[in-house]
Chains A and B, each alone.
Chain A
């Protein structure tokens, strides 16, 4: 459990009061709102007043090297005269339940152990920095844009490794990323730094909606993995009683809950079930409410206890006479759904 109540005056003014017991909490906010400043304060690199409690223990007066907190930055400066292996052996870790070799391998660093920082690419440096952050076995891992040099494939490979390592260490993480998709994939909760220097707390769906505003945005869903169909290269998921087809092969245990994302711009509405259509997904839902925006309308449709949004034009809204409570069909392509990984936890 992380509880903060701190005041920071330089380099920017903010007053943060929040708590979270989620594995990974996303930190969102406009540029210059103090995300980096907040993270640097939490690990003791920036001056602040107030309290930082980690699992009930006050950290404010503890020096950085003694805090069970570490920070991975976008450009973490590695020690120029050390090899990656030397970085690893010089990292002071608390009693660590994770097997080092397995973690090094899972983070894709095994072949880099003899390299010095100048021999590493940007992406390799970020992998090493993330690995060192985890090997420090902190109670709180602060991640400040740690994935900027990694491609989507690497991220898909690393995200589950990071999440499961944190889980094994009973640690928490705070993640800052300008890639909303990274936050959507990993976080269970969102802290939003506002421009007035205060901190808002939201569930991940609510936080993303708030942050993305009227722009085209992702909606997160939880679905049960049913299996992969190699002849069509499609994965099958279930939401309530209805099935969902998603492009590509995904390897989850059958029956496990998985986090999916779909953009409201990719979802269409129809009043009848589709007979002759190439859309792989055709789900029945009920409209719960409609938001008008500058570009048309965002129709919130309920399937069991989950909401999918469809972004449609005013023209379609009128033509179909859509209104709250009306049953509709949600249609979208198998390729419109992204599989993000670990399920959403609700608190």
Chain B
């Protein structure tokens, strides 16, 4: 594997790991809130958080590209804070991946909290445990299969991202060139051997994630 391909592999793993960690941390409170929120706005909130699942990646990428532009609010604030532009940067594809993969983290967790109902929360409160203890010691361990499935789905989905990254990140080695983009470039430039290597790497990695999550799920059951 060439040096740029290895760079792309490293970048992909870094992106997928980082996005998974941040998304799980964000989705836990958000999914818990959505599961127990009773309001007519709930439907809209659920629609918005599910939208990245059905929206064509290029459409999402296009709007992000516009928002990331240095004369737009998001692009401008980021530039002010970090003295760096968002479009065509790792930070840019990181933020885009957070939005793109959000439903994969949020949906399984919300479904698990909804299925869990209020019974456990009530039991826990009646035993005298405060809401924080209840969340971390009672509710969270009880949805761990959903947590694992959310994490592995998010990881795998972020790893395979292509359209959004191409729109907002371009193809900068070490910065925004992830495996799927590098693979596309090899095919474009007719380097089929390298393309083959990358495709196989992706296939193997994806298979590993699936096997790992299934093994964890079985072990838990």
The residues of A with any CB-CB pair to B shorter than 8 Å are 43-45, 63-66, 70-71, 76-81, 87, 90-93, 132-133, 136
Contacts and interface: CB of A to CB of B under 8 A. Distances in A.
A73 to B, nearest CB: 9
A93 B128 contact: yes
A81 B142 contact: yes
Contacts of A64: 122, 125-126
Nearest to B117: A77
Contact of A91 (B127, B134, B142): B127
Contacts of B123: 76-79
Given A66-B128, A136-B127, 13 more contacts: A45-B125, A64-B125, A65-B127, A65-B128, A65-B130, A65-B131, A70-B126, A70-B128, A76-B123, A78-B123, A79-B142, A92-B127, A92-B129
B119 interface: yes
Contacts of B127: 65, 70, 87, 90-92, 132, 136
Interface in B120-170: 120, 122-131, 134, 137-138, 141-142
A45 B118 CA distance: 10
A64 B126 CA distance: 6
Nearest to A133: B126
14 contacts: A43-B126, A44-B125, A45-B122, A64-B122, A65-B125, A65-B130, A66-B128, A77-B120, A77-B122, A79-B123, A90-B137, A91-B127, A92-B129, A132-B127
Nearest to B131: A65
Contacts of A92: 127-129
Contacts of A45: 122, 125
A79 B120 contact: yes
Contacts of B138: 79
Interface of B: 119-120, 122-131, 134, 137-138, 141-142
Contacts of B126: 43, 64-65, 70-71, 133, 136
Contacts of B137: 90
Contacts of A91: 127-128
A45 B122 CA distance: 7
B128 A136 contact: yes
Of B128, B130, B142, which is in contact with the most chain A CB atoms at under 10 Å from its CB? B128
Nearest to A65: B125
A80 B128 contact: no
Contacts of B129: 65, 90, 92
Contacts of A77: 119-120, 122-123
Contacts of A136: 126-128
Cβ-closest 9 pairs across A and B: A92-B128, A77-B119, A64-B125, A65-B125, A91-B127, A70-B126, A77-B123, A81-B141, A65-B128
A66 B129 CA distance: 8
Contacts of A44: 125
B142 A80 contact: yes
A237 B62 CA distance: 91
A63 B142 CA distance: 23
Nearest to A44: B125
A131 to B, nearest CB: 12
